[in-house]
Structure 1
Amino acid sequence: MKKLNLSKYASVLILLGLVIICAFLDDSFFTAQNLINVSRQISVVTILAFGETMLIIAGQLDLSVGTNAAMSGTFACIVYIATGSLFIALMTGIILGGIVGVVNGIAVTQFSAPPFIVTLAMQQITNGIIFLYTNGQNVYKIGDFRVFGQGSLGPIPIPVVIMLVIGIISFIILKKTKYGRYLYAIGGNEDAAVASGIKVKKVKMAAYIISGLLAGLGGVVLMSRLNAGLPASGTGLETDALMATIIGGTSFTGGIGTAPGTLIGSFVIGILNNIMNLVGIQSYLQYILKGTLIIIAVIFDIQSKQRKRVVRIVGDQEVTAQKKDKN
């Protein structure tokens, strides 16, 4: 009889556990309105996390998505005030985010710079650019720009619609396209991917651009939700995006991950935030708990991979021994 691999369903089990806890803490948790509110609250982080998922599957990382979102979203607000065009403002945010992705990708792929260092530096650069331009001031009176974060299509908020559309596109890319297979191949074994003819640098470059574009889109949604361009609002978004990705089952060492898993991970983060707020946990303590959760998730991921490697090695040895016996 085949053993049930509980580690494969860890994120789902965690989500179910949190849902049960929330149901006991608050009777209104299961109402349609509350579930829609939770979905709206996690929309920005999830959009960023889908881009992060593709990068981490390929063995890469982007720590600049939070500040990139803040910079791109704030500039989108500024452009909307100047032009009155929602389309131009939206494109401005997305394109600026994509430009940041291009710079990250060039530094990593063409100059072999470590992704951690490059994107950490870009975090500072994007933060500095928007604070320098706005002189640290928030951008108010954004008018109809709020539609991206506060509007709705029937009963479903537009941020949730955007999140689901990006989720479906991410799923198709990872599951159904050659590019998605290349991401898994590179994250699983980059040397083997190179040997098989995959253009690794181009694949990585595209992943950084996608992450940047989604950070720009997420920034537009974020500022629209906040009803203002807030240069400091991106701080910590990259942490939540990483948490959602890793808790959703994406291996931090690359080669493993799914878009649906990331969506589940985002709901885990959103509901965890709800629980901590319901029980009155201080915001500073919440940072500590989130950081601890990331460490636990990464350790769990590494230990799981090591166990699988040991089982595979032992299994290969047994097969070899059986062949010798037959001979």
Structure 2
Amino acid sequence: MRLAFFVNAVETEIDEYTTTRLARAAAQRGHEVWYVGVGDVELGESAGQLMARAARAVFERDDTLASFMQRIKERDAEPIVLDDLDVLFLRNESIEDLQARPWASPMGVVFGQMLQARGVTVVNDPRSLGRATSKLYLEEFPASIRPRSLVTRDPAAIERFAAEVGHCVVKPLYGAKGRNVFLVEGENEANLAQLTEAVLQDGYAIIQEFVDGGENGDARIFLLDGRLLEHDGTRAAFRRVPTGNDPRANISKGGRSVPLEIGPAERTIVETMTSKLVADGLSFVGIDVIGDKVVEINAESPGGMQSVERLYDVDVTPAIIDSLEQRVASA
């Protein structure tokens, strides 16, 4: 299998990333694995083929994540024909590029759609990924599994929602890693105007009804092909607990991860989401759950495998490579 991971930039990849674990799992099986940065693609001088300056990822015996990634970065880039790939795995974060490199933000979806049309298997499906990158995608699922919400750029509408619903969360429609995520106590929130102004600087805002138990963090649950991701009996899921006075449980904001037991509420959520995720071609996603509600769907470069491995001493990424092998074999 010829497999390329499409990332923001090869030089900024980190060995602890989920992407590194995926690439190592594939290379360890003898697959031909490459890294391609957003700015490394070329079209026009090769009979219409999409080309790339790519870094080869080769597994060596006793490789750690650090040594595996170090060699990738040390290798000279080589030209490859992207049309000849079996799989392109989109692992770039468009939100990360949105402000500093706006030209780069849409390119994973753009190149992914081009290669998909040329017969390459692209994960996740770029036709759906453009929608799923936005928190608006959650609104396409049944109301029973998501909190009441409002998407708007009208500060007055946000104020009315807070007055009616009370305790709620306001955040950018396009955002990640806890940036500009604020708790609002209700209509009497003293800083509501300032919080709203900060969020609206990033475009549309989504304001969600606060789900009971949210103050204790959320659960990150990974789904593969619409089902709970499992490997060797271990389910890829954990709870993120906030630390100090910061209510955000994001690991990037200092939250810590603890084991999670999958119960009836989580199973109902997964069963409710399965058919749509499969129909939309979103093979590998992470969902954030509080109680019996999904508060966020992470379809673009979902991460957190380092927490799964640390908590359960199991690397679950081989199950994802199994899925890719099966898709290529049946194509």
TM-score range, shorter chain: under 0.3
Structure whose CA Rg is larger? 1
Give me the TM-score of the superposition, normalised by structure 1.
0.24
TM-score (norm 2): 0.24
**Bigger proportion of residues as strand:** 2
